Amino acid sequence: MSFLPERVELKTPEQILVMRRSGKLLHRVHEMLAERIRPGITTNQLDTLAHDMIRDAGATPNFLGYQGYPATLCISVNDVVVHGIPDDRPLQDGDIVSIDGGLIIEGWHSDAARTHVVGQPRSVADAELVRITREALWTGIAALASAERVGEIGAAIEDFVADAAGESLSHLEGFGGHGIGTAMHQPPDVMNYRTRSRGPKVRTGMCLAIEPMLIQGPGNWELEDDDWTVRATAGGRAAHGEHSVAVTEQGLLVLTEGDGGAAELALRGVVAAPDPLDDADG
Protein backbone atom coordinates (compact mmCIF):
# COMPACT_ATOMS: atom_id res chain seq x y z
CA MET A 1 0.00 0.00 0.00
CA SER A 2 1.29 3.43 -0.94
CA PHE A 3 0.26 6.76 0.50
CA LEU A 4 2.05 8.76 -2.19
CA PRO A 5 -0.17 11.00 -4.32
CA GLU A 6 -1.20 9.52 -7.65
CA ARG A 7 0.79 10.84 -10.57
CA VAL A 8 -1.11 13.09 -12.97
CA GLU A 9 -0.15 12.72 -16.63
CA LEU A 10 0.77 16.11 -18.11
CA LYS A 11 0.49 16.50 -21.87
CA THR A 12 2.67 18.41 -24.31
CA PRO A 13 1.13 20.80 -26.85
CA GLU A 14 1.71 18.16 -29.54
CA GLN A 15 -0.18 15.57 -27.51
CA ILE A 16 -3.01 18.00 -26.80
CA LEU A 17 -3.30 18.56 -30.56
CA VAL A 18 -3.96 14.84 -31.07
CA MET A 19 -6.44 14.85 -28.18
CA ARG A 20 -8.19 17.78 -29.83
CA ARG A 21 -8.49 15.75 -33.03
CA SER A 22 -9.99 12.92 -30.96
CA GLY A 23 -12.35 15.31 -29.19
CA LYS A 24 -13.40 17.09 -32.38
CA LEU A 25 -14.40 13.78 -33.96
CA LEU A 26 -16.34 12.87 -30.82
CA HIS A 27 -18.10 16.23 -31.03
CA ARG A 28 -19.18 15.38 -34.57
CA VAL A 29 -20.45 11.98 -33.40
CA HIS A 30 -22.58 13.67 -30.74
CA GLU A 31 -23.90 16.17 -33.28
CA MET A 32 -24.91 13.31 -35.58
CA LEU A 33 -26.67 11.49 -32.75
CA ALA A 34 -28.53 14.65 -31.72
CA GLU A 35 -29.98 14.82 -35.24
CA ARG A 36 -31.05 11.16 -35.16
CA ILE A 37 -32.77 11.02 -31.77
CA ARG A 38 -36.54 10.80 -32.23
CA PRO A 39 -39.48 8.74 -30.97
CA GLY A 40 -39.26 5.18 -32.28
CA ILE A 41 -35.50 4.88 -32.69
CA THR A 42 -33.79 2.38 -30.40
CA THR A 43 -30.66 2.94 -28.38
CA ASN A 44 -29.09 -0.02 -30.18
CA GLN A 45 -29.61 1.82 -33.45
CA LEU A 46 -27.95 4.94 -32.02
CA ASP A 47 -25.06 2.81 -30.79
CA THR A 48 -24.56 1.30 -34.25
CA LEU A 49 -24.59 4.74 -35.87
CA ALA A 50 -21.89 5.96 -33.48
CA HIS A 51 -19.77 2.82 -33.88
CA ASP A 52 -19.85 3.03 -37.67
CA MET A 53 -18.99 6.73 -37.76
CA ILE A 54 -16.04 6.28 -35.39
CA ARG A 55 -14.67 3.30 -37.32
CA ASP A 56 -15.19 4.97 -40.70
CA ALA A 57 -13.06 7.88 -39.46
CA GLY A 58 -10.21 5.52 -38.59
CA ALA A 59 -10.67 5.88 -34.82
CA THR A 60 -11.43 3.31 -32.11
CA PRO A 61 -14.39 3.35 -29.68
CA ASN A 62 -12.89 3.31 -26.19
CA PHE A 63 -15.99 2.15 -24.31
CA LEU A 64 -16.40 -1.05 -26.33
CA GLY A 65 -14.73 -3.87 -24.41
CA TYR A 66 -13.63 -1.62 -21.52
CA GLN A 67 -13.74 -3.94 -18.50
CA GLY A 68 -16.09 -6.07 -20.58
CA TYR A 69 -18.53 -3.30 -21.52
CA PRO A 70 -20.54 -4.56 -24.53
CA ALA A 71 -21.28 -1.38 -26.53
CA THR A 72 -19.78 1.74 -28.09
CA LEU A 73 -21.97 4.11 -26.06
CA CYS A 74 -23.54 4.29 -22.63
CA ILE A 75 -27.14 5.38 -23.24
CA SER A 76 -29.12 6.07 -20.07
CA VAL A 77 -32.87 6.66 -20.30
CA ASN A 78 -35.05 8.44 -17.71
CA ASP A 79 -34.22 7.04 -14.24
CA VAL A 80 -31.01 5.37 -15.43
CA VAL A 81 -28.31 7.81 -14.37
CA VAL A 82 -25.21 6.43 -16.09
CA HIS A 83 -23.80 3.34 -17.82
CA GLY A 84 -27.05 2.24 -19.44
CA ILE A 85 -26.47 -0.52 -22.00
CA PRO A 86 -28.11 0.06 -25.41
CA ASP A 87 -31.07 -2.20 -26.21
CA ASP A 88 -33.97 -2.64 -28.64
CA ARG A 89 -36.63 -0.66 -26.79
CA PRO A 90 -37.90 2.28 -28.90
CA LEU A 91 -37.51 5.73 -27.40
CA GLN A 92 -40.72 7.59 -26.61
CA ASP A 93 -41.72 11.23 -26.72
CA GLY A 94 -40.60 12.94 -23.52
CA ASP A 95 -37.86 10.45 -22.65
CA ILE A 96 -34.68 11.91 -21.16
CA VAL A 97 -31.69 10.28 -22.84
CA SER A 98 -28.08 10.70 -21.74
CA ILE A 99 -25.48 9.61 -24.29
CA ASP A 100 -21.92 9.07 -23.09
CA GLY A 101 -19.16 8.00 -25.44
CA GLY A 102 -15.50 8.23 -26.27
CA LEU A 103 -12.89 7.29 -28.81
CA ILE A 104 -9.17 6.92 -29.41
CA ILE A 105 -6.96 8.48 -32.08
CA GLU A 106 -3.27 7.53 -32.15
CA GLY A 107 -3.50 6.29 -28.57
CA TRP A 108 -5.15 9.42 -27.17
CA HIS A 109 -8.62 9.33 -25.64
CA SER A 110 -11.64 11.63 -25.60
CA ASP A 111 -14.81 11.32 -23.51
CA ALA A 112 -18.02 13.38 -23.58
CA ALA A 113 -21.70 13.10 -22.66
CA ARG A 114 -24.88 14.97 -23.56
CA THR A 115 -28.45 14.68 -22.35
CA HIS A 116 -31.37 15.05 -24.77
CA VAL A 117 -35.13 15.22 -24.46
CA VAL A 118 -36.89 13.11 -27.08
CA GLY A 119 -39.50 15.34 -28.69
CA GLN A 120 -41.04 17.59 -26.03
CA PRO A 121 -40.28 17.46 -22.29
CA ARG A 122 -43.00 15.93 -20.15
CA SER A 123 -42.72 18.65 -17.53
CA VAL A 124 -41.01 21.89 -16.58
CA ALA A 125 -39.03 19.86 -14.03
CA ASP A 126 -37.63 17.66 -16.79
CA ALA A 127 -36.62 20.65 -18.89
CA GLU A 128 -34.97 22.27 -15.86
CA LEU A 129 -33.08 19.07 -15.02
CA VAL A 130 -31.48 19.03 -18.46
CA ARG A 131 -30.78 22.77 -18.47
CA ILE A 132 -29.25 22.86 -15.00
CA THR A 133 -27.06 19.84 -15.70
CA ARG A 134 -25.66 21.51 -18.81
CA GLU A 135 -25.11 24.79 -16.96
CA ALA A 136 -23.44 22.93 -14.09
CA LEU A 137 -21.00 21.38 -16.55
CA TRP A 138 -19.99 24.72 -18.01
CA THR A 139 -19.81 26.27 -14.53
CA GLY A 140 -17.32 23.58 -13.55
CA ILE A 141 -15.30 24.05 -16.71
CA ALA A 142 -15.16 27.82 -16.22
CA ALA A 143 -14.05 27.34 -12.61
CA LEU A 144 -11.03 25.38 -13.82
CA ALA A 145 -9.74 28.53 -15.56
CA SER A 146 -8.90 30.21 -12.24
CA ALA A 147 -8.66 27.17 -9.95
CA GLU A 148 -5.55 26.48 -7.93
CA ARG A 149 -6.72 22.97 -6.99
CA VAL A 150 -8.83 20.45 -8.88
CA GLY A 151 -11.31 20.31 -5.98
CA GLU A 152 -12.47 23.84 -6.80
CA ILE A 153 -14.30 22.43 -9.83
CA GLY A 154 -16.59 20.36 -7.63
CA ALA A 155 -17.12 23.24 -5.22
CA ALA A 156 -18.26 25.47 -8.09
CA ILE A 157 -20.62 22.80 -9.43
CA GLU A 158 -22.07 22.13 -5.97
CA ASP A 159 -22.71 25.83 -5.33
CA PHE A 160 -24.29 26.36 -8.74
CA VAL A 161 -26.67 23.41 -8.40
CA ALA A 162 -27.66 24.46 -4.87
CA ASP A 163 -28.45 27.99 -6.06
CA ALA A 164 -30.26 26.86 -9.22
CA ALA A 165 -32.23 23.93 -7.86
CA GLY A 166 -32.20 24.01 -4.07
CA GLU A 167 -33.03 20.52 -2.86
CA SER A 168 -34.96 19.52 -5.98
CA LEU A 169 -31.88 17.92 -7.55
CA SER A 170 -29.23 15.65 -6.05
CA HIS A 171 -25.74 14.67 -7.15
CA LEU A 172 -24.96 11.06 -8.00
CA GLU A 173 -22.62 10.50 -5.09
CA GLY A 174 -19.60 8.26 -5.50
CA PHE A 175 -19.27 9.09 -9.19
CA GLY A 176 -17.38 11.91 -10.87
CA GLY A 177 -14.96 12.96 -13.54
CA HIS A 178 -11.36 11.96 -14.05
CA GLY A 179 -8.10 12.62 -15.79
CA ILE A 180 -7.88 11.53 -19.42
CA GLY A 181 -5.08 11.00 -21.91
CA THR A 182 -3.28 7.78 -22.80
CA ALA A 183 -6.06 6.03 -20.86
CA MET A 184 -9.73 6.90 -20.62
CA HIS A 185 -9.65 7.02 -16.82
CA GLN A 186 -6.61 8.47 -15.07
CA PRO A 187 -5.85 10.41 -11.90
CA PRO A 188 -7.04 12.75 -10.60
CA ASP A 189 -10.64 12.23 -9.52
CA VAL A 190 -12.79 15.25 -10.42
CA MET A 191 -15.79 15.20 -8.11
CA ASN A 192 -18.94 17.28 -8.59
CA TYR A 193 -19.20 18.42 -4.99
CA ARG A 194 -16.90 19.28 -2.11
CA THR A 195 -14.89 16.50 -0.51
CA ARG A 196 -12.28 16.43 2.24
CA SER A 197 -9.52 16.56 -0.37
CA ARG A 198 -8.76 19.75 -2.25
CA GLY A 199 -7.22 17.64 -5.00
CA PRO A 200 -3.92 18.18 -6.79
CA LYS A 201 -2.69 21.55 -8.00
CA VAL A 202 -3.93 22.59 -11.42
CA ARG A 203 -1.01 22.53 -13.84
CA THR A 204 -0.45 23.23 -17.50
CA GLY A 205 -0.83 20.02 -19.48
CA MET A 206 -3.59 18.57 -17.30
CA CYS A 207 -6.49 17.07 -19.22
CA LEU A 208 -9.67 16.44 -17.24
CA ALA A 209 -13.07 14.97 -17.97
CA ILE A 210 -15.61 17.04 -16.04
CA GLU A 211 -19.04 15.41 -15.74
CA PRO A 212 -21.88 16.41 -13.42
CA MET A 213 -24.65 13.82 -12.96
CA LEU A 214 -27.91 15.02 -11.40
CA ILE A 215 -31.05 13.24 -10.21
CA GLN A 216 -34.49 14.68 -9.50
CA GLY A 217 -35.27 14.43 -5.79
CA PRO A 218 -33.17 12.20 -3.51
CA GLY A 219 -29.95 10.82 -4.95
CA ASN A 220 -30.51 7.19 -3.96
CA TRP A 221 -29.30 4.71 -6.56
CA GLU A 222 -28.63 1.03 -7.15
CA LEU A 223 -26.42 -1.02 -9.44
CA GLU A 224 -28.42 -3.46 -11.53
CA ASP A 225 -27.57 -7.13 -12.06
CA ASP A 226 -25.67 -6.39 -15.29
CA ASP A 227 -23.02 -4.69 -13.09
CA TRP A 228 -23.17 -1.56 -15.25
CA THR A 229 -26.56 0.15 -15.12
CA VAL A 230 -26.86 2.75 -12.35
CA ARG A 231 -30.53 3.50 -11.67
CA ALA A 232 -32.11 6.12 -9.41
CA THR A 233 -34.36 4.42 -6.87
CA ALA A 234 -36.51 7.28 -5.55
CA GLY A 235 -38.53 7.88 -8.70
CA GLY A 236 -36.56 10.76 -10.17
CA ARG A 237 -35.13 11.12 -13.64
CA ALA A 238 -31.49 11.90 -14.31
CA ALA A 239 -29.20 13.89 -16.61
CA HIS A 240 -25.47 13.82 -17.36
CA GLY A 241 -23.11 16.22 -19.11
CA GLU A 242 -19.41 15.80 -19.81
CA HIS A 243 -16.53 17.41 -21.67
CA SER A 244 -12.82 16.64 -21.87
CA VAL A 245 -10.83 19.81 -21.13
CA ALA A 246 -7.12 20.66 -21.50
CA VAL A 247 -5.24 23.22 -19.41
CA THR A 248 -2.80 24.92 -21.79
CA GLU A 249 -0.36 27.80 -21.41
CA GLN A 250 -2.87 29.95 -23.30
CA GLY A 251 -5.92 28.94 -21.29
CA LEU A 252 -8.57 26.24 -21.37
CA LEU A 253 -9.32 24.21 -24.48
CA VAL A 254 -12.55 22.19 -24.38
CA LEU A 255 -11.38 19.26 -26.46
CA THR A 256 -14.84 17.82 -27.14
CA GLU A 257 -16.66 21.04 -28.08
CA GLY A 258 -16.85 22.21 -31.68
CA ASP A 259 -15.36 25.66 -31.08
CA GLY A 260 -13.06 24.53 -28.26
CA GLY A 261 -15.42 26.04 -25.72
CA ALA A 262 -14.94 29.63 -26.88
CA ALA A 263 -18.60 30.68 -26.94
CA GLU A 264 -19.72 29.11 -23.66
CA LEU A 265 -16.61 30.21 -21.79
CA ALA A 266 -16.99 33.77 -23.08
CA LEU A 267 -20.47 33.88 -21.53
CA ARG A 268 -18.76 33.20 -18.20
CA GLY A 269 -15.96 35.73 -18.61
CA VAL A 270 -13.30 33.22 -19.66
CA VAL A 271 -11.23 33.43 -22.84
CA ALA A 272 -10.63 30.00 -24.35
CA ALA A 273 -7.25 28.96 -25.67
CA PRO A 274 -6.73 29.16 -29.44
CA ASP A 275 -7.77 25.97 -31.19
CA PRO A 276 -4.61 24.17 -32.39
CA LEU A 277 -6.62 22.58 -35.21
CA ASP A 278 -6.90 26.04 -36.78
CA ASP A 279 -3.18 25.78 -37.59
CA ALA A 280 -3.10 22.06 -38.36
CA ASP A 281 -4.61 19.67 -40.83
CA GLY A 282 -7.07 18.48 -38.11
Per residue in 106-125, pLDDT (tens digit) is 999 999 999 999 999 999 99
Helix (H, G, I), strand (E, B) or coil at 101: strand
pLDDT over 60 at 1, yes or no: no
Domains delineated in the chain: 13-277 (3.90.230.10)
Q: Residue 211, annotated ligand binder?
A: yes
Q: Residue 226, annotated ligand binder?
A: no
Mean pLDDT of all residues in the chain? 97
Question: What pLDDT score does 281 carry?
Answer: 54
**pLDDT, tens digit (0-9, with 9 covering 90-100), for 189-243:** 999 999 999 999 999 999 999 999 999 999 999 999 999 999 999 989 999 999 9
d(CA 262, CA 254): 8
Q: Residue 30, annotated ligand binder?
A: no
pTM summary value:
0.96
The DSSP result for 114-130, as a single string, is EEEESSS-SSHHHHHHH
Helix (H, G, I), strand (E, B) or coil at 94: coil
Q: Residue 47, annotated ligand binder?
A: no
Q: Buried (b) or exposed (e) across 175-207, using 16+ Cβ within 10 A?
A: bbbbbbbebbbbbbbbbbbeeeeebbebeebbb
**pLDDT, tens digit (0-9, with 9 covering 90-100), for 36-60:** 999 999 999 999 999 999 999 999 9
Residues 169 and 215 sit within 8 Å (Cβ to Cβ): yes
**pLDDT, tens digit (0-9, with 9 covering 90-100), for 10-40:** 999 999 999 999 999 999 999 999 999 999 9
Q: Residue 51, annotated ligand binder?
A: no
Q: Residue 242, annotated ligand binder?
A: yes
- Residues contacting residue 123 through CB under 8 Å, at least 6 positions apart: none
Q: Residue 240, annotated ligand binder?
A: no
pLDDT over 80 at 4, yes or no: no
